[in-house]
């Protein structure tokens, strides 16, 4: 049987939803800055709705419960969920985001940079034995020189 425990949660009022997780920690005054919030999230110190959350920009909505540093926070927002929009600079109009369709079969045309990169990679291919012969200080197993700072 699962037993529910009631815990007192502080309310965090936000003006926009969805809002990114690290911003909620800043609004709740639990961290001194965004970098500290992102670090705490990436290290696993923050839970959203009872599960550890490692994404710094996880979208948080009205009613989500955030646990951090032994305290619970409930996100409160009276605004409707906003759609992500892209603004066209030339026409100054906004449009909902749509993923462009990419034809996977169409190959990108080769440019001079691609040709140069291909030829140099072909010229550079040498075996480990050849590299070891040309450079006496190279490691025999990898053919690489040691690095010292």
Stretch among 14-18, 83-87, 123-127 having the lowest mean pLDDT: 123-127
Q: Tell me the Ramachandran region of residue 50: left when phi exceeds 0, alpha when psi lies from -120 to 50, beta otherwise.
A: left
Q: Is the peptide bond before 18 cis (omega within 30 degrees of 0)?
A: yes
Domains and CATH numbers, the chain: 9-76 (3.10.290.10)
The Cα 98–Cα 93 span in angstroms is 15
pLDDT band at 61 (very low <50, low <70, confident <90, very high): very high
68, 26 Cβ separation under 8 angstroms: no
What is the average per-residue pLDDT within 26-33?
94
pLDDT tens for each residue of 75-124: 999 888 887 666 666 666 666 554 445 444 544 444 444 444 444 444 45
């Amino acid at each position: 049987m699962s037993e529910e425990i009631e815990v007192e949660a502080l309310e965090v009022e936000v003006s926009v939803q969805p809002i990114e997780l690290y911003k909620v920690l800043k609004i709740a005054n639990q961290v001194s800055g965004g970098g500290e919030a992102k670090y705490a999230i990436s290290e696993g110190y923050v839970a959203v709705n009872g599960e550890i959350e490692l994404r710094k920009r996880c979208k948080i909505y009205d009613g989500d419960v955030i646990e951090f540093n032994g305290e619970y926070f409930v996100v409160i927002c009276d605004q409707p969920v906003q759609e992500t929009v892209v603004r066209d600079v030339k026409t100054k109009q906004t449009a909902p985001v749509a993923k462009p369709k990419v034809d996977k079969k169409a190959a990108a045309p080769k440019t001079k940079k691609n040709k140069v990169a291909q030829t140099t990679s072909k010229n550079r291919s040498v075996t480990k034995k050849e590299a070891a012969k040309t450079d006496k200080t190279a490691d025999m197993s990898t053919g690489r020189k040691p690095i010292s700072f």
